[in-house]
Chain A
Amino acid sequence: MSAPMISLQGLSGTTVFDQSPARAKSGGCASSSCGSSAKPHEMDSAVWEKIKDHPCFSEEAHHYFARMHVAVAPACNIQCNYCNRKYDCANESRPGIVSERLTPDQALRKVIGVANEVPQLSVLGIAGPGDACYDWKNTKATFQRVAKEIGDIKLCISTNGLALPDRVAELAEMNVDHVTITINMVDPRIGAKIYPWIFYGNRRYTGVEAATILHERQMSGLEMLTARGILTKINSVMIPGVNDEHLIEVNKWVKERGAFLHNVMPLISDPAHGTHYGLSGQRGPKAMELKALQDRLEGGAKLMRHCRQCRADAVGLLGEDRGQEFTLDRLPDKVTYDASKRETYRAVVARERGDRLAAKSEALGMVKTAGSGKSLLVAVATKGGGRINEHFGHAKEFQVYEASPKGISFVGHRKVEQYCLGGRAEDKSLDGVISTLEGVDIVLCARIGNCPEDRLKEGGIRATEAYGYDYIETAIGALYAAEFGSEPLAATA
């Protein structure tokens, strides 16, 4: 199955799959027996059809598909304590931040420009910098224009929910089948600590009164979307001491109302951003606190663990932002949509992902038959395609997986400062990488030098390039079996 990988090399602008095909190994089992397991189980096929190419709604899809946001909706109807509307910086990556705002016509030009160059593109989102449902005229005009040109692109929006109930009918008409609502509370007394005011019904409300209105509108919007079969992701900002414990309650409420996915994100509160929380010294959660809360939420609404808290104008796979390559001044004045790259890419992915899913299910079997009660935390350097295909020194983040008797699951990502810059290795950043990888047992990458490998070992972390270009799950399955299993690998095949 390494053959289809080659054709992707010709796709310019692609950052995935550029590994050497000669070394690419599939997880085996490609021929016959495990075809049916190629689709994630416990999900009905209509839902799978909706999410399978959406990087934010499907953890599996985030290895293959890219999203782009167009910042056409700058106006907002509420104020949040973690947001500062004056802050606008091209060098800062965080939710709601953009470097250029677009009119619907400019947005169309940008979407076509990106679709022609980034074959992984599958989703167009409008996520601010204000509220997509409140700044509706711009949102609607953009979606209508883009849908006319690129019929197969998925449309989605992100909203605080206040204006959402007024827009559900039109969202359904426009085939928007993914909506993200930010819900940080179901108790307005807690809401009053997060939202200083809302603008609703031609006046400003504050305090518990404001939070009560917001809460009621969020719940009714969510219920309306569920009734229409529109998938919803709930974003919650985890604010230690304010709503961290409360999010367990939020998770229950949104699950009962049909939310598809719950994404608990850490508060970002750098004082330099000038937000209320930043200035008042409210801290964000540590990576392990976030994971602990997410672990407690397991069993409720399904959790999203692969969120990168991207900018409101991000372009590319999750974890990368190519937005700066597609600013208006870099786009041609006139663009015509050329579907060829996206179509070719999709055909390759269709074959590739079937193979990977088969490999994954085999790897799961491997972990289970290893018969150990132990768990293994594995950090992976990847640039997409679900393979270990990034050099240790080039990684800007590591994807962390946990292998345990329950299976192999993605638990999150850890951002690091790139260790090798322009061929030079930076010792200082290596210290940073080692401390970021705290708790990880082993690092898997395509390549690693002797020096960083030894330094990691001193820090108690093993690293290996032995599984380079393998599927992530295949490698972790084999690794787990080798660590804890009594049977040799071949016995499970």
Chain B
Amino acid sequence: MAFKIIASQCTQCGACEFECPSGAIKFKGETYVIDPKKCTECEGTFETQQCASVCPVSKTCVPA
């Protein structure tokens, strides 16, 4: 399982990138992208998905 970022809503603030414990988020082209192979949904590390918790726009960082 992984999360994804809805590019059209993303403000490119980058908070998700530095909160991600798995290094799964990178800036590519015009937006931030979550690598589904690396994303663990923060399971075993944090109670909540860090990217979704810090994202300033609702329904932008969501389950893929």
Interface set of A (CB-CB < 8 Å, partner B): 74-77, 79, 85-86, 88, 101, 129-130, 134-135, 137, 199, 202-204
Seen from chain B, the residues whose Cβ lies within 8 Å of a Cβ on chain A are 9, 11-15, 18-19, 46-48, 50, 53-54, 56-57
Greatest chain A CB density within 10 A among B9, B13, B50 is at: B13
**Chain B residue nearest in CB terms to A197:** B53
B18 with A77: CB separation less than 8 A: no
A54 to B57, CA, bound (A): 35
Residues in B with CB closer than 8 Å to A88 are: 11
Whether A203 and B46, one on each chain, are in contact in the complex, defined by CB atoms closer than 8 angstroms, is yes
CB closest chain-A residue, reference B11: A85
Residues of B within 8 A of A101 (CB): 12
Assembly CA distance A59 to B13 (angstroms): 33
Which residue from A76, A86, A130, A203 sits with its C-beta under 8 Å from B53? A203
B51 nearest CB across to chain A (Å): 11
Residues of B within 8 A of A74 (CB): 11-14
Residues of chain A within 8 A of B19, CB atoms compared:
199, 202
Task: Choose among A88, A130, A199 the residue with the greatest number of B CB atoms under 10 Å from its CB.
Answer: A199
> Complex formed: what's the CA distance from A85 to B10 in Å?
9
Interface centre among B12, B15, B56 (most CB of A within 10 A): B56
The 6 closest A-B pairs by CB, nearest first: A75-B15, A85-B56, A74-B13, A204-B53, A75-B13, A199-B54
A-B contact pairs, 15 of them (CB 8 A): A74-B11, A75-B14, A75-B15, A75-B18, A77-B54, A101-B12, A130-B13, A130-B15, A135-B14, A199-B54, A202-B19, A202-B47, A203-B47, A203-B48, A203-B53
When chains A and B are docked, how far (Å) is the Cα of A77 from the Cα of B19?
11
Given contacts A202-B46, A202-B50, whether A76 and B12 have CB atoms under 8 Å apart is: no
Interchain CB contact under 8 A, B13 and A137: no
**Shortest Cβ distance from A481 into chain B, in angstroms?**
55
Chain A residue numbers with a CB within 8 Å of B48 are 202-204
Q: For the complex, give the distance between the alpha carbons of A75 and B56 in Å.
A: 9
For A199, give its contact among B12, B47, B53, B57 (CB under 8 Å).
B53
Q: Which residues of B contact A77 (CB under 8 A)?
A: 15, 54
- Chain A residues within 8 Å of B46, by CB: 202-203
- Chain B residues in 8 Å Cβ range of A79: 56
B50–A137 touching, CB < 8 Å: no
| Docked-complex contact A85 and B18, CB < 8 angstroms | no
Bound-state Cα–Cα, A204 to B48, Å: 8
In this complex, what residue of A is CB-closest to B50? A202
